[in-house]
A and B are shown apart, each in its own frame.
Chain A
Amino acid sequence: MSDSNKILEELTQSDYKYGFVTNIENESAPKGLSEDTVRFISAKKNEPQWLLDWRLKAFRHWLTLETPTWANVTFPAIDYQDIIYYSAPKQKVTLNSLDEIDPELRATFEKLGISLDEQKRLSGVAVDAVIDSVSITTTFKVKLSELGIIFCSMSEAVHEHPELVKKYLGTVVPITDNYFTALNSAVFSDGSFCYIPKGVRCPMELSTYFRINAANTGQFERTLLIADEGSHVSYLEGCTAPMRDENQLHAAVVELISMERAEIKYSTVQNWYPGDKNGKGGIYNFVTKRGICAGDHAKISWTQVETGSAITWKYPSVILKGDYSIGEFYSVAVTNNMQQADTGTKMIHIGKNTRSRIVSKGISAGKSQNSYRGLVEVKPRAINSRNFSQCDSLLMGDQCGAHTFPYIEVGNPSSIVEHEATTSKIGEDQVFYCNQRGIDTEKAVALIVNGYCKEVLNQLPMEFAVEAQKLLAISLEGSVG
C-alpha cells in the first residue's frame, strides 16, 4: 500500500467528529403514522383549523402514493410506522434571555461550535436554533423586527402571521409534489419562517442550525422564506447530528419566494451523520427545496456543501417565472465510505430573458456513489434565455462511482443552453508538481481539492466558508491514491 493510500485510510476512517447525544427529556408522540398522529401534532401546536385540514389533505394524498424508486440510491424500505413523528424538548418556562437556556443544550451548541452569545457578539449572525422539532431560542429578533423583518419559527408564524403563512405555504412546493413533500406537509413539526418587507436589505446573515437529537425521531422541517419587492436576504442553514445506529429519516421542505427585484441567497452546509464505515446507521436526507422568482428581475441563488448523510436526495430548484430573473446553483457534494448522494438542481425557465447557472462539483471516495441529476427546461415563451451548466466529478479510489444525469429540454430557438461535464482523478503530475516544491502529498491534495471546489466555496458567506473548508478537510484531505 502506498503512502497516500495510508493517508487515505487514516483520514477517511476517522470517526464522526460531531457524534454525541444530549440527554434532554422529550415529549414525544407515540410511534407510527395515522390521521391521529397528524391531529396530535396539530393539536400539540395549537394550530388553526385550516392548517389541520391542509395537513390531513396532504396525509390522505400521501396514502395514495408509493415510495419513488427512480433515484440512483439503494436503501432498505422505510417503515413509516416505526418513526416518532413529534418530539419536543420539555420546556418549563418561557425564556427571556440566553442564560435561561438548559445548560445541557448550551453545551450541545458549544460542542457544535455555535455558542449563541458568542455568535451574537462576534459574528452578527442571528441564529434560530432548532433542536429536534421546536425552536428553542431566537436571537436578534428585536433588532430585525425594527426593520420589519419577520424571522421566527414556523409554529410562531402560524399564530402571529397566519395571513402570510396561509398565502404562501405550499405555493412553491405543493403537497402533491412528491412522496416526501406529502409526508412532510402532513407531519411537519417546525421550521423557520422569514419575511423581508419591501425594499429592505437584511443587515445580517440569517441562520438556522438544525439538529436531530432524540433517538428514532424523523425530522420534518418546513422552511418558508419570502423576500418582498426589492429586498435582499442571505440565509444560512447548517446541520450536524449525533451518532446513531438506526437510520433516521429527514424529509424537509424549503420554499423560497422572491418577488420583483428581490434577491435570496440560500447557503447550506450539511454534515449529518453519514453512517459508519460499513454503511450502518446514518441519516436519510430526502429534501425538497424549491424557489420561485415570482417577479421580474428576481434572483435566487442556492449554494450547498453536502458532506454528510448516508443518503442525500436533494434538488434545490428555481422556477424562473419573472422576466429577467436569475437562478443559480452552486454545489459541492462529497461522499465517502458507503454514502450515496443523488443531488442536483432544476432550472425551469418560464419568463423571458431568464438566466441560470449551475456549477456542481462531485467528489466520491471510498465505496460511495455520487450522482448529479439536473434538469434545465426552457419553455417556449422563455425567449432569449440562457443557461450554463458545469458538473465535474472527482474520483478517489477505484471502489466509488460518479454519475451524471443531466436532462436538457429546450422549447424555443432564441435560447442558449450549454452543458459540460468532466470526470477525472487528481493528476499525479499535479501532486508531483507540489511535492517537488516541498509540499507533502496530503497538503497537495488538500490544495488541489480546495482549488477544485473554489468556484463553489467562494459563493459561501464568510462564516460558512470557514466551516465548509473544515468539513472538506475532515472528509477529504489526502484521500487520493
Chain B
Amino acid sequence: MNLKDLILQEYKTFAPNASTAVPKVLREESIKQLSEWGIPTIKQEEWKYTNLKSILETPFKLNGGNGKAEGLHYYNINAYKLVFVNGILNATLSDTKGIEAFATLKSISEAEPAVLEKHFNKFHPFKDGLQASNLAFAQHGVYLHVAKGKVLPKPIIVYFLADTTQGPILAQPRNLVVLEQGASVKWIESFQSTGNDTSFTNICSEFFLHQDSHLEQYKFQEENDKAYHVGTSQVVHLEKSYSHSAVMTWSGALVRNNLNIHLGAEYCEAHLYGLYLGNNNRHIDNHTLVDHAKPNCYSNELYKGILDDQSTGVFNGKIWVQKDAQKTNAFQSNKNVLLSAKATMNTKPQLEIFADDVKCSHGATVGQLDEEALFFLRARGIPVAQARLLLMQAFSDDVLNKITIPELQEEITATLAQRLRP
C-alpha cells in the first residue's frame, strides 16, 4: 500500500477519537486535500528537486505508541525539556518544572478552542499533501503559550525521537507557540532516531508573535542515515516583534525544511540562518519564504552549505514584498561549497516585489575552498587536511555564531567539527 493510502486508512481509525480542540471540519478538509493532491512529486514546482518516491512504498507504522527512548542524546544545557518518542510525549523523561509561572504548556489536543481559533493554522502559503496530512492528524505536540511580558528564564528544548527498532515509523507532531505581548522564548527542536530502520517525520511548528515579542528558534537534525524528514515552521509576526531562526542539518537520508515567515505588521524583524552539511547520499533541501506584507520591516537571511560525496543540496529562498510594504529592507544570501565531483547544489534565490520604495538584494554562490587560502595555511606548516578543516569551520562559523546559547553553540560546533574531519 502506498503512503497516501496508508495515511488515509489510518485516518479512519484516528478520526473518531481525535481531539475536538482542532475543529473537525479542518481535519476533514485537510484529509480531502491529501486524497486529492497526494504526496508531493517532482512535478510540483515546490518539490522540483526533492523526490520522495523512495519512501512511498515503505510500510510505515503510523501509531508508534510504545517506542523507547534509549540512546537519546541530551544536549548539555540548562533548559526545560520535553521528550517525544515516535511523535508521542514521554512525560517521565520530560522536565518542565517551574514553567507554569511564565507560560501555559499543554498538548495541542488540550488547547482552548478560542485560542486555537485565533492562532492556529494562520499562515500556510504552500499547503501540500504532507502539510494537509499533518493538520488532519494534529493531536500530539506542544502547545506553549507565553504570558504577556514574561521572559522564559531558560530555553525550552523539545526532543523528537524516532524509535525504529520495531520497524519504520511515521510521526506527525504539530506544535503551536504563542507569544503574548512582550513575551520572549528560546525554543529548540532536536530530531534524533534509534535503531537502523527508516523513519519519516512530518512535523509542523507554528509560532505566533504578538506585539513586541521575541522568538529565538533552533532546529537540529541528528537522525540516522535512513531517516526522512519534512518539517515546516511558520512564523507569524505582529507589530515590532522579532524572530531569529537557525536551522542546522547534518544527518538523515532526505531532509526538507520549510521556513515561512509572515511579517504581518509594521516594524518587524526576522533573521533566518541555515547550515547544512551533506555527505554520502544525503539530500538536504531548505525552502524559505519571507512574506513582507506591511511597511518598514526588515529581514535578513543567510544559508550556508558544504556538500561532499554524492550529496545533494537544495535551496529556495523566496522574498515577497507586497504592494503596500514600502520601506522594506530584505536581504538574502546563499553560499555553497562543493567538495566532491558528484555533489550537486541546486539553488534558487527568488524575489517577488510589488512595492517600489524597497531595498532588496539576494546573492547565491557555488564554489569550492579557496586554493590561495589553502596555500597560505600550508605554507605555514599546516597539513592539508587540517587546513581544509579550518577553512570549512570558518565557513560554517558565520552561522554557528548565531546560536546565542553559549553551551549549545559550543556543543554543536564540536559535533560539526567532528563531522567535517576527514
A positions within 8 Å CB-CB of B: 70, 378, 380, 393, 395-425, 481
Min CB gap A327→B, angstroms: 17
Shortest Cβ distance from B305 into chain A, in angstroms?
11
**Does B345 interact with chain A (Cβ within 8 Å)?**
yes
On chain A, the residues within 8 Å of B357 by CB distance are 398, 425
Contact flags B315-359 to A (C-beta < 8 A → 1, else 0): 000000101101000000000101111111111111111111111
Q: Which residues of A contact B350 (CB under 8 A)?
A: 403-406
- Say if the beta carbon of B153 comes within 8 Å of chain A: no
Give the complex CA separation of A412 and B342 in angstroms. Answer: 6
Q: Which residues of B contact A418 (CB under 8 A)?
A: 363-365, 367
A420: chain B residues at CB < 8 Å are 361-364
B363 touches A398 (CB 8 A): no
- What are 30 A-B contacts defined by CB distance under 8 Å? A380-B341, A393-B351, A393-B353, A395-B355, A397-B356, A398-B357, A400-B354, A401-B354, A402-B352, A402-B353, A404-B351, A405-B350, A406-B364, A407-B348, A409-B345, A410-B338, A410-B347, A410-B366, A412-B341, A413-B339, A413-B341, A415-B338, A417-B364, A417-B365, A418-B367, A421-B361, A422-B361, A423-B360, A424-B358, A425-B358
**B368 contacts partner chain A, Cβ-Cβ < 8 Å:** yes
Asked if B372 CB lies within 8 Å of chain A CBs, one says: no
Contact A409 B344, CB 8 Å, known A398-B326, A415-B366: yes
Bound Cα distance from A397 to B344, whole angstroms: 40
**What is the interface of chain B, defined by CB distance below 8 A to chain A?**
45, 321, 323-324, 326, 336, 338-368
Consensus secondary structure, chain A interface: strand
Q: How far is the CB of A349 from chain B (nearest CB, A)?
A: 12
Residues of B within 8 A of A70 (CB): 45
In the complex, what distance in Å separates the CA atom of A425 from the CA atom of B346? 30
Residue from the list B321, B348, B358 in contact with A408, Cβ < 8 A = B348
Q: Which residues of B contact A413 (CB under 8 A)?
A: 338-341, 343, 368
In the complex, A75 Cα to B367 Cα: how many Å? Answer: 40
Apart from A70-B45, A400-B356, A404-B350, 5 more pairs, CB < 8 Å: A393-B353, A410-B345, A417-B366, A422-B360, A423-B321
Task: Give the Cβ gap from A335 to chain B, nearest Cβ, in Å.
Answer: 13
Q: When A70-B45, A413-B338 are in contact, do A419 and B364 touch as well, CB less than 8 Å? A: yes
A404 in contact with B339 given A395-B355, A413-B368 (CB within 8 Å): no
Which A residue sits closest to B351, measured CB to CB? Answer: A404
Known interface pairs A398-B326, A410-B344. Does A421 touch B351 (Cβ–Cβ under 8 Å)?
yes
**Residues in B whose Cβ lies below 8 Å from that of A406:** 348-350, 364
Q: Is the CB of A398 within 8 A of B349?
A: no
Neighbouring B residues of A404 by C-beta, 8 Å: 349-352, 362
Residues on A with C-beta less than 8 A from B368 are 413-414, 416
- Min C-beta distance of A168 to chain B, whole Å: 32
Residues in A whose Cβ lies below 8 Å from that of B346: 407-410
Chain B residues with Cβ below 8 Å from A380 are: 341-342
How far does the Cβ of B234 sit from chain A's closest Cβ, in whole Å?
23
Asked if A408 and B359 make an inter-chain contact with CB atoms under 8 angstroms apart, the answer reads: no
In the complex with contacts A410-B338, A413-B343, A421-B362 CB distance below 8 A:
yes
Q: Bound complex: CA of A143 vs CA of B416, how far in Å? A: 69
How far apart are the CA atoms of A397 and B356 in the complex, in Å? 6
* Inter-chain contacts of B356 with A (CB < 8 A): 395-398, 400, 425, 481
Residues of A within 8 A of B359 (CB): 422-424
**For residue A405, which residues in chain B have a CB less than 8 angstroms away from its CB?**
348, 350
